[in-house]
Amino acid sequence: MRIYDLIFKKREGQPLNQEEIAFFVNSFTKGEIPDYQASAFLMAAFIRGLNGKETSLLTQAMCESGTKLNLSGIPGIKVDKHSTGGVGDGISLVVAPLVAACGVLVPMISGRGLAHTGGTLDKLESIPGFRTNLTQAEFLSQMERIGVAMIGQTSEIAPADKKIYALRDVTATVDSIPLIAASILSKKLAEGCDALVLDVKTGCGAFMREKKDAVRLAQVMADICKRSRKKVVVLVTRMEEPLGNAIGNGLEVWQAIEILRGEEKRGTESFIELTDVLGGWMLFFGGKVRNSKEGRAKISEVRKSGAGLKKFEEIVRSQGGDPEVIQDPKKFFFRAPIVKEVTSPWKGSVSFINARSVGVAALLLGAGRENQDSVLDPSAGILLAKKLGDRVERGEPIAQFFYSPGARFDEAEKVFLAGVKVGKLRPKPHPLIHQVIR
Q: What is the DSSP string of 409-422?
A: HHHHHHHHHHTEEE
Strands 195-202 and 231-238 come out as parallel
225, 219 in Cβ contact below 8 A? Answer: no
Active-site residues, by number, are: 82, 161, 168, 183, 187
What residues pair up with 107 in beta bridges, in sequence order? 149
Strand order through the sheet with 338-343: 246-247, 381-384, 397-403, 338-343
The DSSP element (H or E) to which 154 belongs, if any, is none
Which DSSP string corresponds to 305-374?
A: HTHHHHHHHHHHHHTT--THHHH-HHHHHS--SEEEEEE-SS-EEEEEE-HHHHHHHHIIIIIS-SSTTP
For residues 247 and 381, is the Cβ–Cβ distance under 8 A?
Answer: yes
Strands (E), 225-291: 231-238, 246-247
Torsions phi, psi for 19 (to 5 deg):
-65, -40
